[in-house]
Structure 1
Amino acid sequence: MAARHTASRTLLSLAFFAPFAVHAAPTSLNELVVVGSRAPAQISQIPGSVWVLEDEELEEQFRAGQDLKTVIGKLVPSMDLAPETRTNYGQNMRGRSVLVMIDGVSLNGSRGLSRQFDSIDPFNVERIEVLSGATAVYGGGSTGGIVNIITKKGREGDAQFSTEIGVSSGFNSSEDRQYRFGQSIAGGNDRLKGRLAIATEDNGAMYDGNGDAIMPDISQTDLQYNRSLDVMGSTEIRINENQKLDLTAQLYNSGYRGNQGAWLGPYLAEINNPEIRNGFSSDRDPQTDRHMFNLAWQHLDFLGHTAYLQASMRNEESSFHPYPYQRATLPQSYFGASQQNTRQYLIKGLLAKDFGNVRLNYGIDLDREDFSANQMIFDNATAFPSGGMTFDEEFTIDRYPDYRVEGIAAYFQAEWQATERLQLNAGIRQRHARLEMEDFIGTQQAVEVERGLVTSADTIPGGENDYDVTLLNAGGIYNLNDDQQVWANVSQGFEIPDPGKVAGRGNYSLSDGHYVLTDSLNINDNTVPGLKTNQVELGWRTYQVQWDVQVAAYYTWSDKEAVTNRTTLTVDVVDNKTRDYGLEGALTWRANRQWSFGGTAHYARSEVEGANGDWKKNLVTAASLPNATAFVQWRDSQNSARLQGSRAFGIKDDAGDEINGFTTFDLLTSRELPLGRVNFSITNLLDKQYNTVWGQRAQLFYGFEDLFDFKGQGRAYTLSYSVDY
C-alpha cells in the first residue's frame, strides 16, 4: 500500500499537464496518463476507458498522409470515423460531443464551430490521450469524452534536429498532390530546455475512387487547395528541485489557397447541377487562424501539497466559404461569408495531497470567452452572374450578437484505496457562469439597410443572465490480479446551448421604410441553462506480455433540451429524453516478435423518447455510426508492414433517412535506413468509391444532392522521409 502511494507521488513529481508528461510503452496498467490538465494519473487509477496513442504508432499513421481526426477515428473505437473535410461536425464519441485540448488548453468554445482538429500539424504531436465517456472533472463540453493532444517537447543534450518531408498523390492529375515538410530543433540542460518547430502542408485537388474530382464544400469548407503553417515553441525552466515552469506558444494558420470553386450557374440556375471550375476568387477565403499561449507551473511541496497552476490564452478566427441566401427578390438575396472570432482565457489551479490511503485533489478553474462574428456581404452584380465564382466585398455586418461568458468552477475529487485490490473515487464540480450579450440587428434587416432597400432597423436588445450547474461522479476499480482490473463509474457532463444560436432573435415588421422590432428574445429574463448528461459505465482491461484487451459497456442519457420558442421568443427548457448505449473494445495480440494482430469495435445505438413513451431511433444526422477496424502487422529491426481496414456500418432512422456505411483498407510500410527512415503507404488500397458520412448528412441538411455529394478520397500513394540528427 505504502509503495503504491510512494509511486503515485513520484509520478506527480515527474509530470503535470502535458508539458511534463512521461512517455512509457502502452503495455502496463501503470502507464502514466495526463488527461485534461488535471493531476497525472496511471491508467490503473482511472475508473473509465482510457486510450493512449503513442508517438511511434501515431507517426506510422501520420506519415501515411492521414490527418489528425482520421487517425483518431481509426485507432480509438468510441470515436466516430472522420468526416473527411475541414469540419469535424458529427465526429462524436459515444454519440455525444467531444472536448478537444492541446496540452490541456481547450479548443472548444461556446459556439460549436467543429474545427477542433484543424488545430495542429501532426509533426508536432507526441502522443494523444483519450478518455471515453461523460465527465465534468475537466470542464464543459465533454459529454462524450476527452481528447488531449500532447505536443513534442525539448530534451536534455546538444542541439537535436528533426526533418520530415512527404508527398502524396492519387495520380489522377497534376493537381492531385499533397506536400508536407517539418523541421525542428531541440535541446538544453537540466535547468533549461526547449524545442522550436515549423511544419507546413500544401494540398491540391482531391479525387474519388472513380478518378473524378470531389466537389468543394461551400458549407463547412474542406481541405482542397489548402495550405497550413504550424509554428510551435516550448521552453521548460527548472527553478529548483521542487519547482518548474513550462511555456508553450503556437501560431497556426490553415486556409484555402486556390482558384477552383463550385460553379452554380448564373443566378443559381444550375445549383442542382453544379460544376467544378477554375476562376474562383473571393475577398474572404475559408481559413482557421489561431495563436495560443500556455503557461504551466508545478511545485512539489507547496504548503505540504503538490501544487499545479495553468494559465492559457487562445485567440482564433474561423472564416467560411461564401454561401448563397436566396430571398423573395434579388436585392434582398445575397452571398455571405462569416468570420467567427473567439478569444478565450483560462486559469486552472489544483492542489493534491495524500492522507494515508486517501488522495485529495481540489481546485478552482476561472475562464472567460469573448465572441464576435461578422458577415462579409458580396456584390450581387458579380457574385450571382458569375455563378458563385467571383466575390467582391460590398460591406460587412454583424453575423451574431457579440457576447462574453465568464465562469468560475470549484471541484473536489477524492480517491480512497479501500483495500489492497479495491479503489474508490468520488467528486463534485460546481460551476457558475455569467453571459453578457450586446445589442444586435438581424442579419437580413442589416443587409437591406446597407443596400438602401429600407432606411433603418431597430436593434434586438442584448442583456445578462447567470447559470449554475452541479455535477457529480463516482467510481470504483477492482484489481483481479497484477495484470487486469474491472471498473464501474457513474458520471455527469454538461454543455450550454450555443448563445449565438439561441439569442439575437427578433420579429420585425416593416413600417414606412423602417424595420420595427415587434418582439425579441429577452436575455435578461431567459437564463441559458447548463444541460447535464448522465452516464453509467462498466469495463475490464488487461495488459499482458502478448496481448492487451480493453472492453467497456456504457449507457448515457439526458432528459432536458434548451430550445428557442419562435412564437414566444423565449429559451425554454423542455423534456427531451435521449439515450446512447453501446459496447466498445480493442484487442492486440503479439503472436511473436515479428507478427501482431488486432482491432477495435464499437456498437452504438442512439434513441429519443417518443410522445407515447416509446423509444425511437435518433435522426441519422445526429446518431453515431457503429464501426470496426482490424489490422495485421509484421515488424523486424529495420522494416515494418501493416495492413489495416476500417468499417463504418450504415444506420437508418424512423423517418426513413439513412446513412450508408463503407469499408476501406490501408497498407503502411517503412524501412530504417543508415540515416533516417523512409515510409511508403497506400490509403484506400482498393480504390473504394463511397459517399462520406458528412456528405450524406449535408444532403439531408441542405437538400441539394449534387452540390453536397461529397465522395471519399480514392487510392492515394504516400512517400515520406524522416531523420533525427
Structure 2
Amino acid sequence: MAQQKNTANHKKDTLGEPRALGEIVVSASRKPVTLDNVPSSVTVITRKTLENDMTVNTDVTDILAREVPGLAPGTQTNSNVGQSLRGRSVLIMIDGVPQSTPLRNGEVDMRSIDPSVLERVDVLKGATAIYGNGATGGLINYITVTPKEDKILSGKTMINATGSLTSIKNSVGGRLNQVLQGKYKKFDYIVSGVAEQTGEFKDAKGKLVGPNYSLGETDSYNAFAKVGYQVNSRQRIQLMYNYYRSQQNSHYNLVNGDIAKGIPASGVLGTPAGVATGPRGNQTLHLLYQADSLIGGTSLTADAYYESRDDIFYVSFGRFEGGDGQSHTIDKKKGLRLMFNSPLSNKTAFNGTLSYGADLLNNVTSQPLVDGRIWVPEMNMLNYAPFAETQWSLWQNLIVKAGVRVERVRVSVDDYTTLQLTNANGTTSAPSIAVKGGDLDYTATLFNAGIRYNRLPAFMPYFSFSQGFSVSDIGLALRDAKVNDIKKINTEAVLVNNYELGFVSEYKKLRFELSGFISTSKLGADMIFDPNTDLFNVSRTPERVYGFEASLQYQVLHNLDISASYSYLEGKADTAKTGGSYNVYLNGRRIAPPKVTGSIGYRPVPELEVRLQYMGVNGRNRFEKNAKGVYNGNEGKVSAYNLVNFNASYKVAPRTLLTLGIDNLFNEDYFPARAQWFMQPGFYSKGKGASFNIGIAVNY
C-alpha cells in the first residue's frame, strides 16, 4: 500500500541519521497514515532505537518500558503482569495479528517475538477498537522487518556474550542471531534465526535473583521468515511466519521471600517441580494481499492469519484438591480480514478517504492444568465486526477523523466442573461446582473521532474520543464460579470511553509533546485480593483512570541528542456504584507509579556512538496495611528506584560492528515495582544488578 509522504517535518532519528516524521506509517488507523496526521498520542520505536536498546538486553518488555511513556515498568520475568498501558489492558499484535488472550488473560503476551526481527514498534495509547477486542488501554503492534538489500543474497551474523558484573559465577550466557535476505526478480525474502541462553541473574550484591519466573537460566528461540511476491506495480502478496519459544530451565528451587522483613526471594540447588515455565512454542502465520488503484482509485487489503500459543505458568503448591497443579493457557486464533480504501476527494483543500471492511475471528482459549485437569474450560469465541472510518485533510492543515465499528461476539462454553480449591491452612476455600454451559452473546457499537490542527509547528493541538471493548477475562470468572450456570456469572464486557487532549510543538530540532487523558468504564475488571481465601477476585465496579504524559526530543548538535519523558497516572473505582463517587484507589496491578525517562547520545567520531539511558520509577503508596500488619496483594507500597544503562557501538571495519552494553550501570540495589506491590513472597525478588552484554555484528 502506498505510503503518504510529508517532507515538511524533516527530523533526525538518532545521531545524524535522518528520518522524516511525516513519512513514518503508524498503526493508528486501519489505513496506514503518517504520524503527522494522527489526532492522538502515538509512540513509534524505530529500528535504530531497538538496535541501541538490544545492545543492553533483549527483553522486549524492558525495552518498551524504557521507551513508551504511559507503559508500566517491566517485571524482569517471563510475565508482564501489571505492565498495563495507561492503567488498562493492552492488545499485543505482530503485523496486526493479535497475540493477546483476552478470554483468559495470562498477561504473558508481550514476550511473543524476538526484537531482532522488528522494523519498528507502533504504540497507540488510549482505548481503541480498530483492531478488535482487548485494547481498552491501547495497542502495541510489532512491525516485522522486510528485505532492504537488492542483492540476491546478503546476510548478517550477530554473536553476544552476557553476564553479571557483581558475581560472574554461573551468570554467563550467549546469543547467536543469523539473518539472510535478498531479492530476485519479483520475489523478496528474509529469514532469521535466534538462539539465546541466559545464565543466572544476580542482584546488586551478587546474590541469586529469585528464580520464580525469572529470565535467568532461560533458553529462547525465534525463527522468522517472510516471503513477498510483487505481482506488478500495484499488487503484492506476502507470507510471514514466526515461531517463539522462551522457557526457564532453572537449577534452583524457590525460597520465598519475607516481605515484612525485606528479605528477597532466593533459591536453593535442586530440580524444580513441574515443567519449564514460559512460552512453550508460540506461532504466527500471516498471509497478506494488497492491491492499489483499483476501480475509482480504491485499494484493497485482504489477509488471513493463524496464531497459536501455549504458555506455561508456575506450580501452585497445596492449592488444588487432589494435588499440586501447574496450569497453561492454550490459545488458537483463525482470522480473515477485508478492507477497502476509497478516495472521496483529492482536491488540495478537501482531501478525504473512506476505509471500510469487516473482520472475522475464531478464538479458542482454555487453561487446563498440565496433568489434564480442567481449571478453565474451553471457550470458543466467534467474532464478526464490520467497520468504517473516514479521514479528511481540510485546507492542508486541519485533520479530521471519525469511525465506527460494530462488534458481534458469541462465546460458547460446554458444561464443566470447577476444581475444588484450598487455602493456606489446608481448608476448602472454594468447593467444586458443576456449572451448566451455554452461549454468551455480546454486541457493541464503538465510535472514534479526532481532530488535529497543523498550521503552526510551534503549537499543533489535537483532541480525540475513542471507545474500546473487551470481553474481560471470562476464563477467570468461569474458574472461580460460585453458581451452577454461566448465565448467572457476571461476564459482562468492559466498554471504555477514552478522551485525550494534547499538542505537539516543533521548533528547529526540538520536539515536545504533552497530552492529558481520562478513561471511564461502567464496569471494571480490577483484581482484588481476598485475605480470607488467599485468592484474587474480579471487582466489577465503575472506574475512572486519568493522567498526563510529556516527552521531549532535542538534537543539540549534529552528533549529540537528548530526550526525556514523564508519565503520571491515577485511577479510582466507584465501589458503591453511586454513579459518580470514585472512592477507592485502583491497585498497583492497574496503576503504575510515576515514571521518568531520559537519554543522552553522542558520536565523537563517525565510527563510535555512546549512549546513557535513565529510567526512574517514583514511589506510590495508596493503601493501608491489613490486620496482619502487611499490605494486601496488589496493594503494596512502591519505593522509588533509579536505573541507568550504558551502550556503545564501534565500527571497526565497514561491515563489522562491536557493541558493549551495561545494564544497571551504577548497580542500584532495588526491588522492581511489581515485586513491591504484588505482595506475593514467591515474587518478592530483587532486580538485576550491573550486568554486561558484549557483541559483534558482521554484515556480508
- State the one-letter code of the partner of 1:680: L
2:353 to 333, 345, 359: 359
Q: Is the 8 A contact 2:523 2:541 kept in 1?
A: yes
Q: Is the 8 A contact 2:566 2:595 kept in 1?
A: yes
Over residues 401-453 of structure 1, what are the superposed CA-to-partner deviations in whole Å (9 max), with x where a residue is unaligned?
1110111011111112333321211111110000100222222389xxxxxxx
Match of 2:484 in 1: 520
Match of 2:334 in 1: 345
Match of 2:51 in 1: 59
- Return closer, same or farther for 1:240/1:689 CA change in 2, 3 Å cut-off: same
1:579 to 516, 538, 544: 544
- Return closer, same or farther for 1:245/1:483 CA change in 2, 3 Å cut-off: farther
Q: Is the 8 A contact 1:25 1:31 kept in 2?
A: no
- Tell me whether 1:284 sits opposite 2:275 in the alignment: yes
Q: Is the 8 A contact 1:667 1:685 kept in 2?
A: yes
Over residues 200-237 of structure 1, what are the superposed CA-to-partner deviations in whole Å (9 max), with x where a residue is unaligned?
110121111111111122xxx23221101100000011
- State the one-letter code of the partner of 2:649: S
Match of 1:20 in 2: none
- Return closer, same or farther for 1:333/1:138 CA change in 2, 3 Å cut-off: same
Q: Is the 8 A contact 1:135 1:491 kept in 2?
A: yes
Distance 2:501 2:38 in 1: 12
Distance 1:484 1:191 in 2: 45
Match of 2:614 in 1: 645
Distance 1:323 1:163 in 2: 41
Match of 2:675 in 1: 695
Q: Secondary structure at the match of 1:697?
A: helix
Distance 1:577 1:680 in 2: 48
Distance 1:311 1:297 in 2: 9
- Tell me whether 1:682 sits opposite 2:662 in the alignment: yes
- Tell me whether 1:593 sits opposite 2:558 in the alignment: yes
Q: Is the 8 A contact 1:480 1:486 kept in 2?
A: no
Q: Is the 8 A contact 2:4 2:23 kept in 1?
A: no
Match of 2:141 in 1: 148
- State the one-letter code of the partner of 1:576: T
2:72 to 80, 105, 128: 80
- Tell me whether 1:660 sits opposite 2:639 in the alignment: yes
- Tell me whether 1:42 sits opposite 2:34 in the alignment: yes
- State the one-letter code of the partner of 1:280: T
- Return closer, same or farther for 1:407/1:227 CA change in 2, 3 Å cut-off: same
* C-alpha deviation, 1:324, in angstroms: 0.7
Distance 1:631 1:12 in 2: 30
- Tell me whether 1:467 sits opposite 2:458 in the alignment: no
2:588 to 616, 620, 624: 620
Match of 1:122 in 2: 115
Match of 2:207 in 1: 212
Match of 1:372 in 2: 366
- Tell me whether 1:418 sits opposite 2:397 in the alignment: no
- Tell me whether 1:634 sits opposite 2:597 in the alignment: no
Over residues 683-717 of structure 1, what are the superposed CA-to-partner deviations in whole Å (9 max), with x where a residue is unaligned?
11110011111212331xx4x3xx33210100011
Q: Is the 8 A contact 2:164 2:202 kept in 1?
A: yes
Q: Is the 8 A contact 2:366 2:475 kept in 1?
A: no
- State the one-letter code of the partner of 1:104: G
- Return closer, same or farther for 1:182/1:527 CA change in 2, 3 Å cut-off: same
Over residues 325-381 of structure 1, what are the superposed CA-to-partner deviations in whole Å (9 max), with x where a residue is unaligned?
257xxxx462211122100112111110111132111110110111233213xxxxx
Distance 2:154 2:505 in 1: 37
Match of 1:236 in 2: 228
Q: Is the 8 A contact 2:670 2:687 kept in 1?
A: yes
Q: Secondary structure at the match of 2:565?
A: strand
Q: Secondary structure at the match of 1:244?
A: strand
Over residues 638-678 of structure 1, what are the superposed CA-to-partner deviations in whole Å (9 max), with x where a residue is unaligned?
11111121101111114354222211111111111113111
- Tell me whether 1:136 sits opposite 2:121 in the alignment: no
- State the one-letter code of the partner of 1:397: R
Q: Is the 8 A contact 2:3 2:23 kept in 1?
A: no
- Return closer, same or farther for 1:274/1:362 CA change in 2, 3 Å cut-off: closer
- Return closer, same or farther for 1:543/1:104 CA change in 2, 3 Å cut-off: farther
Match of 1:197 in 2: 192
The normalised TM-score by structure 2 is: 0.87
Q: Is the 8 A contact 1:646 1:663 kept in 2?
A: yes
- Return closer, same or farther for 1:550/1:28 CA change in 2, 3 Å cut-off: farther
* C-alpha deviation, 1:457, in angstroms: 8.1
Distance 2:319 2:109 in 1: 30
- Return closer, same or farther for 1:74/1:505 CA change in 2, 3 Å cut-off: closer
- State the one-letter code of the partner of 2:145: K
Over residues 18-67 of structure 1, what are the superposed CA-to-partner deviations in whole Å (9 max), with x where a residue is unaligned?
xxxxxx97754412323168211001221111211111111011121241
Within 5 Å, give how 1:287-326 maps onto structure 2.
Answer: 287-288=278-279, 289-304=281-296, 305-326=298-319
Match of 1:605 in 2: 570
- Tell me whether 1:429 sits opposite 2:397 in the alignment: no
Q: Secondary structure at the match of 2:327?
A: strand
Distance 2:185 2:505 in 1: 36
* C-alpha deviation, 1:542, in angstroms: 3.9
* C-alpha deviation, 1:314, in angstroms: 0.4
Distance 1:26 1:362 in 2: 34
Within 5 Å, give how 1:467-546 maps onto structure 2.
Answer: 467-481=442-456, 485-504=460-479, 519-523=483-487, 528-546=491-509
Q: Is the 8 A contact 1:164 1:721 kept in 2?
A: yes
The normalised TM-score by structure 1 is: 0.84
* C-alpha deviation, 1:564, in angstroms: 12
Q: Is the 8 A contact 2:356 2:387 kept in 1?
A: yes
Distance 1:13 1:673 in 2: 36
Q: Secondary structure at the match of 1:433?
A: strand
* C-alpha deviation, 1:482, in angstroms: 5.6
Match of 1:159 in 2: 153
Q: Secondary structure at the match of 1:169?
A: strand
Of stretches 336-345 and 573-582 in structure 1, the one that deviates more from structure 2 is 573-582
- Return closer, same or farther for 1:188/1:487 CA change in 2, 3 Å cut-off: same
Distance 1:168 1:616 in 2: 44
- Tell me whether 1:671 sits opposite 2:650 in the alignment: yes
Q: Is the 8 A contact 2:620 2:638 kept in 1?
A: yes
Structure 2 portions without partners, runs of 5+:
7-15, 258-262, 346-350, 423-430, 531-536, 626-635
Distance 1:478 1:26 in 2: 25
- Return closer, same or farther for 1:716/1:237 CA change in 2, 3 Å cut-off: same
Q: Is the 8 A contact 1:362 1:411 kept in 2?
A: yes
Q: Secondary structure at the match of 1:30?
A: helix
- State the one-letter code of the partner of 1:439: D
Distance 2:469 2:17 in 1: 33
Distance 1:353 1:13 in 2: 18
Q: Is the 8 A contact 1:410 1:431 kept in 2?
A: yes
- Tell me whether 1:93 sits opposite 2:85 in the alignment: yes
Of stretches 279-288 and 108-117 in structure 1, the one that deviates more from structure 2 is 279-288
- State the one-letter code of the partner of 1:46: V
- State the one-letter code of the partner of 1:164: M
Of stretches 296-305 and 616-625 in structure 1, the one that deviates more from structure 2 is 616-625
Which has the larger Rg? 1
- Tell me whether 1:550 sits opposite 2:492 in the alignment: no
- Return closer, same or farther for 1:117/1:26 CA change in 2, 3 Å cut-off: farther
Distance 2:502 2:28 in 1: 21
1:258 to 224, 246, 250: 250
- Return closer, same or farther for 1:505/1:178 CA change in 2, 3 Å cut-off: same
Over residues 120-140 of structure 1, what are the superposed CA-to-partner deviations in whole Å (9 max), with x where a residue is unaligned?
112212211111111112212
- State the one-letter code of the partner of 1:690: Y
* C-alpha deviation, 1:723, in angstroms: 1.8
Q: Is the 8 A contact 1:187 1:193 kept in 2?
A: yes
